[in-house]
Each structure stands twice: as C-alpha cells, then as structure tokens.
Amino acid sequence: MAIKAGFDLGSTAIKVVLTEGAQLLWSGQTPTAPGQETLAKGLLEKGLAELGLPLDAVTQVAATGYGKGLCGLAESRVDEIRANALGLFRLSSGQARHIVNIGGQDIKVIHLDERGRVSDFKMNDKCAAGTGRFFELVARLLDTPITDFARLSELATEDISLNSTCVVFAESEMVSLMAKGARNGDIIKALHASVARRVAMMLNKADLGAGVWLDGGPAKNPALALALEDELLAEVKVLANPQMTVAFGAALSLGV
Amino acid sequence: MTSPGNRHERLLGKVRDKVAGEERALLDWLRSRPDYRPRFQYFLGLLSDRRLSTIESRCERPVIRLLCVQAPLELIWAAGFQPVKIASGSSAEAQFSTLNWPALMCPLIKGILTNLETEAELAPGPWVIPTSCDWVVKFWEARQKVAPGGGEVQWLELPHLKNQPGSQARWLEEIRRLKKFLEKLRGRKIGREDLLQAVMALNRAWAAVIELKKARRDGRLASVWFLTILGAFFLDRLDRWTAEVEAALAELGAGQSAGPRIFLAGSPIFFPNFKLPALLEEAGLLTVADDLCSSERTTPGGQVFEDVSESGLLASLAGRYHQGCLCPTFGDNERRVNNILSQRRESDFQGVVFGVLKGCHPYDLESSTIEDTLKCQGLKFLRLETDYATEDRQNLLTRLEAFRHNLAGE
C-alpha cells in the first residue's frame, strides 16, 4: 500500500495526515514550537504506529504552511492556498466553491471553479485581527478557554459591538467593556460578529449561492460559523475536522 | 548626560548604518546571482554611491532634484543640469519617519523625508515638483520641518484632467515657467539647439530602453536587472549610461527563463527595496513588462517632433509628459488600463500583479477599477498591499505561489 503524508506546518499548530489514494487514514496535530520538523516527524511516527504500519510505509511527503521551507523530510512543497483548495474540494465531494480559512495568523478567502481549481483568492495583510491569534488573545484576556466560546456565546443577552479592526485596539475595547461589567458571553458574541464582518469584507460581492465552507482551527467554534452566516446571509458549512483540510490537500498534491 | 540633540544625531547615524546595510544586502544579492555579469557592475557602482555631490562631479553638471515623472527631462538637460529623481526604498528611512509623520503615509515620501535629515547635501539646491498626489503636494511643507531653509522649489501645477478644455494650455504654461526657472538658475537661455540635442540624447537612451524591454520580454534579462539598470538612469551622464546599456545588451545570452508570465503594475519600486521583484522570482513568476514610474515609465519614451521650432519642441514635450503620463493621480486615465491591454498583445502575459504601497492612495483606489476591467478581458489579477518592511515576505510569497498555480490553471 502506498501511504502518503501531508504536513501543514502552521503558525500555531502542526498538522499531519496520512493518506492512501484519496482516503484520509489518520490525522494528528500538535502546537507549533521550535523544531517543527521534529514535531511533524513525531506525529508521523505516532500515526504510523496507530495504523500498525512500519516507518518506511510512507512513500512521499508534501509540506505546506509557513514552515514548509524548513522541512527537509518533504520532497514536495505546496502553497497553503492550493493545498486548501485541493483538500476541501475533495472532502466536500466537489461541492465547495468558496472557502474561508481562518488560520493562526491569516485569513484566506478562496474561490474555486467547478473542477476545484483556484479561480481567485484573497488573503489579509499583515494584521492579526480575526485570525486564530486574535481568538487566543481574547481567551487569555477573558481567562476562558476557546472551547467554551460557542457555549458562552449562546448565553449572550446583550447586544454589544466591537468596533476596532486592530487587535491591539480591540483588546483595549474589550478591557473597557469588562470594566463596565459586560459579561464574557456578550463580549465573545461581539467578537464573533467582528470577525465575521472582517471576513465578509474579504468576500466582497461574491455570489455565495453554493454556500461557504469554513475551515482552519477557529472553524471548530460553531458560534463563529453562525455569526458568519448572519453576516454573509449565506449558508456556512463546516467539516467534521476542519483543521486538517490543508494538510490533506498537501498529501493530495502528490497525486492520488 | 546626553542632550536630546545628540540623541537625534545618534539616531540618524543608526538610520544611516541600517540604510547602508540594506543597500549592501541588495547589492551582494545581485552580485551573487548566477545571471550576474561583470558589465552590470557599472550600474551597481552607480547605485552604491548616489550622493548628489558624486553625481555632480560624475556628470560635471549641477543637479536638479526631481519628484515624479512629469517634468520634461529634455528641458533640464538642455539647461545644462543633471536631473536626479529623489526617491527612497529604504525600510529604515521609512520607519524612522514615523517619529514625525503619520504611520499610514506614503513610504516613499516618508523615506525621502528621513533622507533629507541623514544626507545634509540633499535639501539645499533647486527642486522641481509637479503637483501629482497629495503626499507630493504636502512634501515641501513637511520638508521644512526636517530640513528647514535652503533650496528653491519650482512647482509644476499638474492639470489632473487631461481632456478638460484648457488643461494642455495650462500645462504648457507651467513648462514655460520651468524653462524660465532653469534659465535663471543657469544664467543663460535655453535655445532650440540645446533642446534638440537633449531630445536626441534621450531618444538614443529610449532606443536602448526599448531593447532592454525586449530582452526582458524574451527572458534574456531578469526583471531585477531591468529595475537595477533603470534605477541607475539618473546617476550618470545620459550618453555614458546609454552606452553602458547598449554594451550590456550586446553581452546578453539567449533567453532561458520559464514560468507563467506576468505584468507588474502599481506603486513604484525603488532601490534598495526589491522585495516584491525578488519574491516574484522566488514564486516562479516571470515579470515580462511593467508600468511602474520607477521602471518602464522612468522616461516618457521616444518622440517624433513635427514642429522643430523652439516653441514647437516645447509644446510637444509638454504634451508628451502630460497626455502620455499614466500616473494614477489623473482623473481621466483610461490610457492606463489600455496600456496594460496593449502591452498584453506585445508581451503575452497571463496575469497582472498589482503592488500597492500602504498609504499610496491613488494606486490603491485605482487597483479596484483596473482589476474589474482586466478580469473582464480574461486576465488574472493579484493585488498585494505592502510596505518597505520585510516581515510580510512569507505572507506575500504564499499568495504569489498560489497565483502562479492559478495562472498555470492547476
């Protein structure tokens, strides 16, 4: 059996998948830290062990993400946008036409044609607003794990607004809201709406009739998907494991 | 205890060191490229010493400091001056400027304002400034804060609607005033013969630029070398620069470069900020043409003169530098997008990369309308917003790599 590996060496998490043909066999992740290649190799070994496969079962490795250039294990490198398109198009059974990927330090909007090829894309400039880092910052500020964001957001009762598009100013705004007694759930709901507005600006006037597929780590937060639906007035779909699509696409870039 | 004045001087010293480091890094990178040729050393040598005093002794002419591209160069040469476009692509200079100026301001003007402080010889002396964008219009006022006194400025009030009745006549009047300004400075009249000689010298240079463009289009000359050679345009005598270009062209080998072909548009790229051209190469994209005012639009192009009287020459020059200018500050500028489309026929590119410098509002605004038009014509379009800092390299590279795949239809 020809096993291929896809590494997504992102700014906040390293994701590794093992595939056979177009089938996803295994996926795993670990937080990004110095020594990305060693961490990815560790995940690879773990995956193979869990599948009961020897180390030499992997015939090819492709890397993507910001750390792709640092990965000597990979014989092939692919940019994140193409990897994302390949992975999500396959996982959505060819349905995806518009992807919103929220990564650790950027937001990407990718438009696909009916064959899954990238027809256009946009990426935020060097600004952390709306990215995974933004969510982490808010989690620290509110002393609340990100995994609780969706639940707390549902409990929101007050409509408040976060107006700043800059992380630093948004932080000040949140501190000010907390000082005025705003509840965490209300602030989190406002945060989701703020990120959704930012994403909507990147989608411009695109016809979203086929819906939007949300992936990346923050996509695991269902309240964010709801906020995005509300802002875009379009259906937002999320896969079961939205953080793995890019690594899966990297593996697919090796051919199936 | 250190006085504030001393601290400022030390800060400026630090900026000078950083600028020297940026320049050295780019020059070393250019020299270490496999396509480097000893002949290119002439251009690198010019870029490594751009002090106005050096240029004056090199050219044996006094310097006129220029902003933008609307002042007829022929007129300045005819008066016996060396035109030098003042620009800065230094990240350190742009960054230092934020001590005084808004963060979201044109990095080019920010860089020049710091340059006025770090290079004492820059401020005094004559300047010619067309009123192109708002940043350029406010430049002289800002300049008084960092380098007060000294220097004369000749404003050229640029009519921003080319097709408005009277606009060409108004511009011609501005050019006549420029002629008088130059004559007063030089203490002599600019005659028809002076103008004709300057026109012929620029026409020869333009012929060399056309060959450079062909070499880039055919893959015989990398775009970074094209930018380097054009970047040295104002730094030596025109005849010597032209002769060196002709010699360099004669030594170029056969075209070898491959990869999707793109057109580079948008804000200018000045030495030593070659971040975007270097990233385009790294992403496997072949830049075959551009419309940057720091590159292909450094000169307005060759010209045939029907009326070779002094007034006829002056009127033709005025028209060429106004009607033919593609600067985004014009209100009626269809020519800009038409130029990209006609260059597509010549250069056969599949996409356009439009670089916007943060704070460069005319290009930023225009990018949206150009994008719509070009996409309707079947061209792929990528807009990148950046500044002189290098921290967004990876972010930009990701987009350029994806754009390459996009162009390749993968």
DSSP state string for B98-167: TTTS-SSS-HHHHHHHHHHHH-TTTSSSEEEEE--SHHHHHHHHHHHHHS-S--EEEEE---S-TTSTTH
Distance between CA B209 and CA B231 in Å, rounded? 12
Contacts of A119 in chain B (CB under 8 A): 406
The predicted pLDDT at position B1 comes to 45
A180 touches chain B (CB under 8 A): no
Is the Cβ pair A118, B385 closer than 8 Å?
no
A113 touches chain B (CB under 8 A): no
- A182 φ, ψ (degrees, to nearest 5): -65, 145
- Chain A residue whose CA is closest to B385: A125
Contacts of A126 in chain B (CB under 8 A): 391-392, 395
CA neighbor of B339 nearest in space, from B305, B389, B316, B373: B373
Is the Cβ pair A81, B399 closer than 8 Å?
yes
Test the B interface: residue of A8, A70, A79 with most B CBs within 10 Å:
A79
CA–CA–CA angle B101, B104, B109 (5° rounding): 60
CA neighbor of B343 nearest in space, from B288, B380, B269, B406: B288
Size of the A and B interface in Cβ pairs below 8 Å: 41
pLDDT tens across the length of chain B (410 residues): 445 568 888 999 999 999 999 999 999 999 999 999 999 999 999 999 999 999 999 999 999 999 999 999 999 999 999 999 999 999 999 999 988 888 889 999 999 999 999 998 888 899 999 999 999 999 999 999 998 877 899 999 999 999 999 999 999 999 999 999 999 999 999 999 999 999 999 999 999 999 999 999 999 999 999 999 999 999 999 999 999 999 999 999 887 767 899 999 999 999 999 999 999 999 999 999 999 999 999 988 877 788 889 999 999 999 999 999 999 999 998 889 999 999 999 999 999 999 999 999 999 999 999 999 999 999 999 999 999 988 888 889 999 999 999 898 77
- Chain A residue whose CA is closest to B381: A120
Is the Cβ pair B399, A117 closer than 8 Å?
no
Contacts of B391 in chain A (CB under 8 A): 126
Which of B380, B391, B402 lies nearest to residue A82, judging by beta carbons?
B402
The fold of the A93-238 domain, in CATH, is Nucleotidyltransferase; domain 5 (3.30.420)
Task: Name the minimum distance, in Å, from the CA of B295 to any CA of chain A.
Answer: 25
The predicted pLDDT at position A126 comes to 66
CA neighbor of B83 nearest in space, from B53, B122, B127: B127
Tokens describing residue A60: 């090819």
Which of B385, B386, B402 lies nearest to residue A79, judging by beta carbons?
B402
A123 touches chain B (CB under 8 A): yes
B391 touches chain A (CB under 8 A): yes
B390 touches chain A (CB under 8 A): no
Sequence-ordered alpha helix ranges (H) in B150-237: 167-186, 192-217, 223-231
Is the Cβ pair A119, B405 closer than 8 Å?
no
Is the Cβ pair A123, B386 closer than 8 Å?
no
Residue with tokens 């990407």: A108
- Chain B residue whose CA is closest to A112: B406
What angle do helix axes A184-203 and A167-179 make, rounded to 10 degrees?
A: 150
Tokens describing residue B210: 């056309």
Contacts of B406 in chain A (CB under 8 A): 117-121
B385 touches chain A (CB under 8 A): yes
A126 touches chain B (CB under 8 A): yes
Reduced to 3 states (helix: H, G, I; strand: E, B; else coil), residue B286 is: strand
pLDDT tens across the length of chain A (256 residues): 789 999 999 988 999 999 999 999 999 999 999 999 999 999 999 999 999 999 899 999 999 998 998 888 899 999 999 999 999 999 999 999 999 999 988 899 999 999 999 999 998 876 777 788 888 888 998 999 999 999 999 999 988 888 776 777 778 888 888 998 999 999 999 999 989 988 998 887 788 888 999 999 999 999 999 999 999 999 999 999 999 999 999 999 999 8
**ipTM metric:** 0.74
A106 touches chain B (CB under 8 A): yes
- Chain B residue whose CA is closest to A69: B394
Q: Which of the following CATH numbers is that of domain A3-87+244-252: 3.30.420.40, 3.20.20.140, 3.50.50.60, 3.90.25.10?
A: 3.30.420.40
What secondary structure letter does DSSP report for B298?
A: G
| Sign of the CA dihedral running B143, B144, B148, B151 | positive
Give chain B's domain count.
1
Torsion of Cα atoms, A148 then A151 then A153 then A156, to 10°: -120
Residues of chain A with CATH 3.30.420.40: 3-87+244-252, 93-238
Domain boundaries, position B189: 4-407
Contacts of B358 in chain A (CB under 8 A): 125
- Chain A residue whose CA is closest to B391: A126
Judge whether B152 and B146 are in contact, CB under 8 Å. Answer: no
Buried b (16+ CB within 10 A) or exposed e, A100-115: bbbbbbbbbbbbbeee
Distance between CA A143 and CA A138 in Å, rounded? 8
Beta bridge partners of B103: none
Task: Name the minimum distance, in Å, from the CA of B55 to any CA of chain A.
Answer: 38
Amino acid at site A142: L
Buried b (16+ CB within 10 A) or exposed e, B280-293: bbebbbbbbbbbbb
Which of B358, B402, B409 lies nearest to residue A81, judging by beta carbons?
B402
B395 touches chain A (CB under 8 A): yes
In the stretch 352-381 of chain B, residues with CB closer than 8 A to chain A read 358, 380
